Amino acid sequence: MSKRARRQGPEQSRARRAGQTQGKGPPRARRPSAAGRGHSVAPGQGHAPRRRPVRRRRRRARRLHYLILLVFVLAAGIAFSMNAFFQVEDISVIGTERYDLDQIIEISGIQAGDNLLRLDSGQIAEDILYAFPYIATVNVRRRFPPRVELIVTEHQPEMAVFENGEFALITLQGKLLERGNRTAPTGLPVVRGLMLEDHQPGQMLGGGYSPHNNERLVMLRYLFDAAYRVDFLPITHVDVRDRLNMRLVHEDRLVLELGSEADLEYKLTFLRYVIENRVEPDAQARLDVSNARARELVRREGRVVDGEFIPGEIFVPGDLIIPDDSGEDAQNESDQE
């Protein structure tokens, strides 16, 4: 030890060490003792063990336990409230006049006591649509107090397909509503050219497996859209067996040959003018306007029986003249001698 160090007393040494500590920053943490590192320490040696970290861990574990318990209680309360307060008390069906209400409810699978919030609306609608061909849409509505309303809309038959002595009712989109009728329905156009095959009510006559029906359903939609636009009604029979020569029967007495589906509005406009101004009210004939763009019309006398034309004498083509494109100005026609 130097002479200078020997001259300094205990107090001066502590002051000098304190000044060095302040200049170097906060003191470093002490390394854990042998007891803290897992080594055994003889009694009276080393430092006493720290209890603060252990208490913190216990406190955190207790909070986590309380949080888990709270979540469990909340989940149990929600489940109980759903089962106790959302049980279906009543089921009603609105919008149908064709089917029995109890049958629709039975097919839906909904029962009193079911949970209102757990109902599968999509599956319920699918089951009802599959079982009842005339039902077009199903809307499942949840009401409070807990009850269910099944709002349905129904198809209306728009055409009657005739094949092999059988009449089947369909929509314009091709949905088969019912089949097996042996008599023609009243007020519906009878269609020839669609194939029923083994289709069952509720199925579509078209689709990927029926390209024949697909083409003819498109033709029918074109025809009826044009007929509605130019007010060419009523149509009692339609024949789409020949894709290039569509035929229809007007008022059960006139067979009209239209050719392909091109220019349908133009052809029907000419036909309406001809029927109103150039054809006798009780006449039965066949009118061919397949070449209407060339302003040609061929008329043949005969009889119309169940939508089929039985030919008679050929009408002289020059005796009937088509009006111009506007359909308003009638041209002079020669009298038949």
> Is 329 a domain residue?
yes
Reply yes or no on whether the pLDDT at 300 is more than 60. yes
State mean pLDDT over 66-70. 76
> Is 287 a domain residue?
yes
Domain end, chosen from 135, 154, 173, is at: 154
> Is 250 a domain residue?
yes
> Is 123 a domain residue?
yes
Q: How many Å from the N-terminal Cα to the C-terminal Cα in the chain?
A: 157
The model carries a pTM of: 0.67
CA distances from 306 to 217, 240, 241, 252 (A): 22, 16, 16, 8
State mean pLDDT over 153-179. 95
CATH of the domain at 127: 3.10.20.310
> Is 214 a domain residue?
no
> Is 333 a domain residue?
yes
Local confidence band at 307 (pLDDT 50, 70, 90 cut-offs): confident
Under a CB-based contact definition with an 8 Å cutoff, are residues 170 and 156 in contact?
no
Listed in order, strand segments (DSSP E) in the chain are: 90-94, 135-143, 147-154, 159-163, 166-170, 176-181, 190-192, 235-239, 246-250, 254-259, 285-288, 298-305, 308-314
Lowest mean pLDDT among 127-131, 207-211, 244-248: 207-211
| Dist CA 190 CA 71 (whole Å) | 67
Instruction: Give how many domains the chain has, as a whole number.
Output: 2
Give me the domain span that covers residue 96: 90-154
Residue with tokens 């130097």: 2
The pLDDT score that the predictor gives to residue 20 is 52
230 pairs with which residues across the strands? none
Closest of 218, 162, 154, 213 to residue 185, by C-alpha: 162
The pLDDT score that the predictor gives to residue 312 is 73
